[in-house]
Structure 1
Amino acid sequence: MRRGSWRPLLPALAAGLAATAWLAPASSRAGDPELEWRTFETPHFRVNFPDYLERVARRIARKLEAAHRILVPLLDYEPAEVAEVVVTDDTDSANGSTQVLPSNVLRFYAMPPFDFSPLQEYDDWLDLLVTHEYTHLLHLDNIGGLASVVNAIFGKTWAPNHMSPYFVIEAYTTFQESRGRREAGRRAGRIGSTLWEMYLRTAALDGELLTLSEAIHVPRRFPHGEISYLYGGYFFDYVARRHGEAVFAEIADDYGSDLLPFGISRTFHEATGEDLLELWDGMTAELTERFAAQAEALRAAGLVEGTRVVTDAETVRAPRFSPDGRRLGFFASDGYDPPALQALDLETGERERLRIVPGQAALSWAPDGRSFVYHRAEVYRGFYGYYDLFAQGPDGEELRLTEGLRARDPDLDPGGDRIACVLSAHGGSFLATMNPDGSGTEIVLAGDEESQIFTPRWSPDGRTIA
């Protein structure tokens, strides 16, 4: 594996200055004191997990070792230290994180993504998650040059690749998580997401693809925090098709050894013969041409378009007709005002804000057409961020139906006598029913580790659930 040119000097320098060495203590954070933690080791990872997540933790460990075998040769770098792995299930958000300072730590949440997500293209969610986070580690931990000398003396405190533009950091991971798209000719990862393709196609047809400067600084534009992943992934896909994937290992190695930060365009030029701006403009020109051809072909075939009834929101999700068909309830966010559950009168066009909610939410109308049940995120026991069910009556008062049950996607049966919903636990999901007051929960169908349950709906006669 490649290393910086300072590597041969490390033993002598470290020995000569060992007396002055220091290491800043790692930060710590308290968690649920009732959890019983366990640890096991594999050749390259030390895995820590609450005892009830052992099955998930062992699946992650197997996938990490498989990722190590695949990604280390691709990125031409192998970490010198065993990475700590922490597996938790304390949030209903599909995510993970990676740190390389002052040591290598990978964190994985057991919760899989919801259905309407750019993370929707996967066979096994954990494959995508593990590939994404371990690519981060191999990229950011590639440290050479003067930084490796400083780290040998003072402890691991400097990782030059951390100073890459954020879209470059996420480009590495989004590109690798979508590997199945390239190797098996199928949709995989976010580059394979039809939702993400729609984001870019809309921007291209409107002449609003981001410039390089805008992508570096992440403007307050849709899709906000996903901009670096979206544009970065497509950018690396473009670079790989022009210059081959090997350039990414070269870029990480060179930038990770640079004495001075922020010379990323120079690093790309040395690896590809083109500077960053040339490559970016080439990508946006290609996307513009590609999506224009798609639009022309679709128009020639004849477009079938609906009627837009909400035009001032960035995100509109989970629309539900009221029982009398006169109103449409939905979740909406414009990126500026707080997200909210809203109702639209289909005759007058008047909008009513039903309730401000933290993050995503979805409602189901009660038979009276004024009351409804809904899910939203809530803190549970001070340690967990879970979805729970709530109800709102005609007077606007909120009633909590569940607490810590991790329930979402509620649907009231036609008579208002039973709620169908999805429960989450340990990386899996369950179809459940309960009484309208949140009592009498009954699990009617359990998903397995590689399948998930979403958006249950009662049949009109209330006898079956789709």
Structure 2
Amino acid sequence: MGKLTTLLLVGLMLGWASASRAQNHPELEWEVVETEHFRIFYHEGLEGAAARAARIAEAAYAPLTELYGYEPDGRVRIVLKDHDDYANGAAFFYQDTIEIWATSLDHDFDLRGSSDWLRNVITHEFAHIISLGAARKGVQRVPALYLQYFGYQREKNRPDILIGYPDVIASYPVMGTVVPMWLAEGAAQYGTATTGHDRWDANRDMVLRSLVLADEQLSFEQMGVFGKQGFGNEYVYDHGFSLVRYIAETYGEEKVAELYRAASQWHTLAIDGACKKVLGKSADELYGEWIESMRQGYRAQVAALGPLREGERIVDVGFSNLRPRLAPNGEQLAYLSTRKRHHYPHGLIVRDLATGEEEVAAFPAAASTVDWSPDGRKLLFSRIDRADKYGSRQADIYEWDSAAAGPSFWRNMLWFVPAMVSGTGPDPPSVRRLTRGMRALYPTYSPDGEWIIFVQNKDTNNNLAMMRADGTDLRYLTHFADGTQLYTPRFSPDGRKLAFAIAREGQRDIAVVELDAGGDWTGGPSGQPSGLG
């Protein structure tokens, strides 16, 4: 009994230690570079990204400030960081501060097209700083007012009571900035006609077209808030971008800025009043004509395509199912799915196509590619797993072996309590980790199963790397340092060529290069393919 208690206590301590790790990076050295309008804070390894960020921010400054007629009082702070495989940006518009996670969104999210991520996210967040600054009703140090009135009973019979018991309490908050999410995110994606940092791509159009033709688009009220399940929050971005584009193209780009300035008036408590003042119609009328214009346009697109040919739907559970990969024998399908959860992450699912039975091979799995070994026994996948000692969560390569034995009863018992406390537990014997701290995406086997090639993400740059199937003998094939992004490498059947997608400044192309017997590029210096450097 004493030994069992000790084991449980150790397990609890392990669980708590894992759950309590915080994001702190004392190992990083930080620097700052100043421009006329910005201060760029960055850590070691991001020197090139900081220089590009400075150029991007200054290029966006004049178009956005001129459109909205607003300039910050001082330099805007931009904090660049790349210690997680995570893409995002945040604008703290009351502090004139922007925070950027530098990993490209292309690697983490499939419902938008390719873009120059650094240019996109910096311009997007700076557009928030300027547009929301223009919409602010008061001074920057007063984000809101809170009005409150107390009423008291009147005491008529006792002169010694100066004031009666409170019988009226009325409270009324007045926000300093009143901008719905569709307008905030739509305007930030649109920017101006000259910023060109983002674009209405086929992915966004596909999402909105599917919703509009099924009459399942968000209502005007739903467009105004986040907090939705599944892809609901992304729908707010898509709807907002489309509606702002409609306003700019139908009424003029300057009307977008005028909506923000109208929202800055204290008597404007909702966007409906701003729409009536600027566009001469209510928000509901604007919404109705925008939806009707899309419905007509999308119906015409579908009619021009002719008869619709539909395939057989294999899986209909989960709001996100992606990266399907058939086994070499064609009898199994591996894919990533959120299944019955209304949120990320995905799990790695293996489906028997004959019986329809499914197995959750591994959980969680990153939204990257999966690949079967040539013999169909193993699967490669990437996972962004538990945080390291500094709180960073980075992608590594894992291997699932269908022939491995399952976990023993005693192993399950030992880890039951720690897993319940921390929400995580050890992988089963069928899952093996091949890399640590590699930030590796898109793993794929060579045709003979001896090698694995993958994309390494670091310091806003992507590079191709190879290692043996057991994780040893690592070698780098490229050394890009200019923000180049790489995706989905695949060997030719004979193993002599390698095809992959490559993106620079938001333009994605396909590259095919030849490998020599030693695994190096032919026709160029070792480690860098000719014509791509």
Superposition TM-score tier, normalisation by shorter sequence: 0.7 to 0.9
Of residues 436, 440, 448, the one that matches 1:407 is 440
Residues 106 and 114 in structure 2, CA contact (< 8 A), matched pair in contact too = no
Structure 1 458/151 Cα, relative in aligned 2: closer, same or farther at 3 Å? closer
Structure 1 148/176 Cα, relative in aligned 2: closer, same or farther at 3 Å? closer
Alignment of 1:123-134 (within 5 A): 124-134=116-126
Residues 341 and 354 in structure 1, CA contact (< 8 A), matched pair in contact too = yes
Structure 1 282/448 Cα, relative in aligned 2: closer, same or farther at 3 Å? farther
TM-score by length of 2: 0.73
d(CA) in 2 for partners of 1:139, 1:334: 39
Alignment of 1:31-430 (within 5 A): 31-101=24-94, 103-114=95-106, 117-122=110-115, 124-142=116-134, 145-147=137-139, 150=142, 160-161=176-177, 163-176=178-191, 189=198, 191-218=199-226, 220=228, 222-258=230-266, 261=269, 263-299=270-306, 302-334=307-339, 336=341, 339-357=346-364, 359-378=366-385, 379-394=387-402, 395=404, 397=429, 398-430=431-463
Match status 1:454 vs 2:469: no
- Code of the residue aligned with 2:202 in structure 1: it is T
d(CA) in 2 for partners of 1:148, 1:83: 14
d(CA) in 2 for partners of 1:297, 1:358: 39
- Runs of at least 5 residues in structure 2 that lack an aligned partner in the other structure: 1-21, 146-173, 405-427, 500-533
d(CA) in 2 for partners of 1:352, 1:152: 52
- Code of the residue aligned with 2:330 in structure 1: it is G
Shift of 1:195: 0.9
Q: Secondary structure in 2 aligned to 1:46?
A: strand
d(CA) in 2 for partners of 1:134, 1:389: 35
Shift of 1:149: 8.2
- Code of the residue aligned with 1:317 in structure 2: it is L
Larger mean CA deviation between 439-448 and 59-68 belongs to 439-448
Q: Secondary structure in 2 aligned to 1:52?
A: coil
Q: Secondary structure in 2 aligned to 1:227?
A: helix
Shift of 1:89: 0.7
Choose between structure 1 and 2: higher strand proportion: 2
Shift of 1:220: 4.1
- Code of the residue aligned with 2:29 in structure 1: it is E
Residues 138 and 176 in structure 2, CA contact (< 8 A), matched pair in contact too = no
Larger mean CA deviation between 30-39 and 227-236 belongs to 30-39
TM-score by length of 1: 0.83
Shift of 1:381: 3.1
- Runs of at least 5 residues in structure 1 that lack an aligned partner in the other structure: 1-28, 182-187
d(CA) in 2 for partners of 1:215, 1:450: 34
Shift of 1:147: 4.5
- Code of the residue aligned with 2:454 in structure 1: it is C
Q: Secondary structure in 1 aligned to 2:105?
A: coil
Shift of 1:164: 1.9
Q: Secondary structure in 2 aligned to 1:457?
A: strand
d(CA) in 2 for partners of 1:373, 1:454: 16
Residues 23 and 392 in structure 2, CA contact (< 8 A), matched pair in contact too = no
Structure 1 218/94 Cα, relative in aligned 2: closer, same or farther at 3 Å? closer
d(CA) in 1 for partners of 2:86, 2:273: 37
Identical counterparts, % of pairs:
28
Aligned residue pairs, count:
421
Structure 1 296/290 Cα, relative in aligned 2: closer, same or farther at 3 Å? same
- Code of the residue aligned with 1:383 in structure 2: it is G
Shift of 1:422: 0.6
Structure 1 234/164 Cα, relative in aligned 2: closer, same or farther at 3 Å? same
- Code of the residue aligned with 1:68 in structure 2: it is Y
CA RMSD of aligned residues (A): 2.6
Structure 1 151/160 Cα, relative in aligned 2: closer, same or farther at 3 Å? closer
Structure 1 63/218 Cα, relative in aligned 2: closer, same or farther at 3 Å? closer
Shift of 1:273: 0.7
Structure 1 95/146 Cα, relative in aligned 2: closer, same or farther at 3 Å? closer
